[in-house]
Amino acid sequence: MATDPSTQQLRLLLALADELHFGRAARRMFVSQPALSRTIRALEELWGVPLVDRSTRRAELTAAGRDLLPHARAVVEAADTLRDAVREVAQGGARHLRIGSYLSALPALRIMFEELRARHGAPEVGWRDVDNVEQVGALLDGRLDAVVCYGPMPEGIRTLAIGSETRFVCLPDCHPLADRDEVSLAQLADLPVVGFSPHVHPRWREFWAADPRPDGRPVRYTVHEVTTLESSIAHVSLGHGIRFISESCRALMPRPGVRYVAVTDLPPCTALLAWPATRPSPPALVHLRRILRERAAAHDAGNLPPPGGDGVPARRWWEMGGTTGP
């Protein structure tokens, strides 16, 4: 191979693989569609294999493209790690970190920060609780360096997956479905969802309301404009509507007047560490991301406790488990 591909070329390939559409991928990466197309052609010529099947309306990856994608992703992640390390050196070891989360994430944050201090001294960590609106706004306007939250997140924010969780429906404890072990979305079709603030990002609202439902029906919302999980659960307990929540919230936030019931056909959610894409990260955040990436790698390699006999992981992400080493 005469030359290696640039990380920008690989980033464009990854964007196309995510979007499967040249126009959407180009807009996401702030390049023109012809420039994106030329970049993919250049990669194909460089590697000597076709990467994209252009015979359909969707930009489907070829078998070779799918095989090479994990390697391209690994190179980009390595470049990101190097860039973070350079920023750390350039900032001269600044040790302040401003992080936000829901209240329910505090047990996991405590363990994260303890390991961060054990490995890298005692960085100054400022914390604040954020709601469903602030989790985006506080990152984009610079009030916070990172948040622990749930996806999906909008453009302009980078994320690192911390863990995957099943989702439950929160019902009033007097509802006929509240005593069941599980329900389906069809059984919940006629129940309104407690309304979200109009400032909540639309993709996030639609995901957390399961809107539309699998049969295409739109969700009916109540008139409320809620931004916090606590308020949502309070409205559910008063019989105003239902709300979908994560497994960790179910485990960490038991409340009177409600029941949490598994939903058989509700896709899982992903807990994330999120930070702004356009601003340098403080060293403490770089270290925290390394710790979380090591945990993810250890989990993928089977180094964490195997699932229990009931199919439930012996240790969930918010319990974090032991350290992965210095």
Q: What is the mean pLDDT of each run of 10 residues along the chain (326 residues)?
A: 80 90 84 89 92 82 92 88 67 70 82 79 81 89 90 90 91 96 95 94 93 94 93 95 92 90 94 89 85 73 44 57 41
Contact criterion met (CB below 8 Å) for 171 and 124: no
Torsion sign (Cα): 186, 187, 188, 190: positive
> Using CA atoms, how far apart are residues 115 and 298, in angstroms rounded to an integer?
16
Contact criterion met (CB below 8 Å) for 56 and 42: no
Query: What SS3 string covers the chain?
Result: CCCCCCHHHHHHHHHHHHHCCHHHHHHHHCCCHHHHHHHHHHHHHHHCCCCEECCCCCCEECHHHHHHHHHHHHHHHHHHHHHHHHHHHHCCCCCEEEEEECHHHHHHHHHHHHHHHHHHCCCEEEEEECCCCHHHHHHHCCCCCEEEEECCCCCCEEEEEEEEECEEEEEECCCCCCCCCEECCHHHCCCCECCECCCCCHHHHHHHHCCCCCCCCCCCECCCCECCHHHHHHHHHCCCCEEEEEHHHHHHCCCCCEEEEEECCCCCEEEEEEEECCCCCCHHHHHHHHHHHHHHHHHHCCCCCCECCCCCECCCHHHCCCCCCC
User: Of 262, 267, 246, 265, nearest to 318 (Cα)?
Assistant: 246
**The total number of residues written for the chain in this structure:** 326
Contact criterion met (CB below 8 Å) for 248 and 104: yes
Query: Looking at residue 62, what is its pLDDT?
Result: 93
pTM summary value: 0.66
Query: Looking at residue 323, what is its pLDDT?
Result: 42
